[in-house]
A = this chain, B = another copy of it.
Amino acid sequence: MDTVFEIIAEPNRRAILSLLVSSQQSVGEIERHLRMPQPTVSKHLRVLREAGFVESTVDAQRRLYRLKPESLQEVDAWLAPFRRFWSAHVDALERHLDHMEQIDQSTPKKKKKRRKK
């Protein structure tokens, strides 16, 4: 788990990050909003914190977590060359965007069926 890409590969962590965009939240608030068990939240928060995605401050017994932009900017930077690439393919792109209006990470989308033995 040593790259930012591995960090955001986990759906629960992406959900936490998305939740924190609006405002900082305590662990309990995250737990209730995302309906995941508290140890799960804490574990993911630890990963996010150690990877620099979030930071926390102490408020009595609570910990308030908030976003830190740097790490996600790393992802953004990696995307840059591809943005140049696909701006040359705008037409194909727009067709695709019409096709996937309501895709977000909370709705598990079915891709190819891979057969496991």
Residues of chain A at the chain B interface (Cβ within 8 Å): 1-3, 5-6, 8-9, 11, 14, 17-18, 21, 49-52, 55-58, 67-70, 72-76, 78-79, 81-83, 85-86, 89, 92-93, 96-97, 100-112, 114
CA distance in complex: A83, B67 (Å): 12
By a CB distance below 8 angstroms, the chain B residues around A101 are: 57-58
- Determine whether the beta carbon of B55 is less than 8 Å from that of A73: no
Which residues of chain B are within 8 angstroms of A112 by Cβ–Cβ distance?
50-51
Given contacts A5-B8, A18-B81, contact A73 B49 (CB under 8 A): no
How many protomers of this protein does the assembly include?
2
CB distance from A67 to the nearest CB of B (A): 6
Q: Are B79 and A92 in contact (CB under 8 A)?
A: no
Cα(A79)–Cα(B79), bound, Å: 10
What chain B residues lie within 8 Å of A78 (beta carbons)?
14, 104-105
Contact of A50 among B6, B73, B97, B105 (CB under 8 A): B105
13 A-B pairs in the complex with CB atoms less than 8 angstroms apart? A2-B109, A3-B11, A3-B109, A9-B9, A14-B78, A50-B112, A57-B102, A58-B102, A68-B96, A73-B86, A73-B93, A74-B103, A78-B105
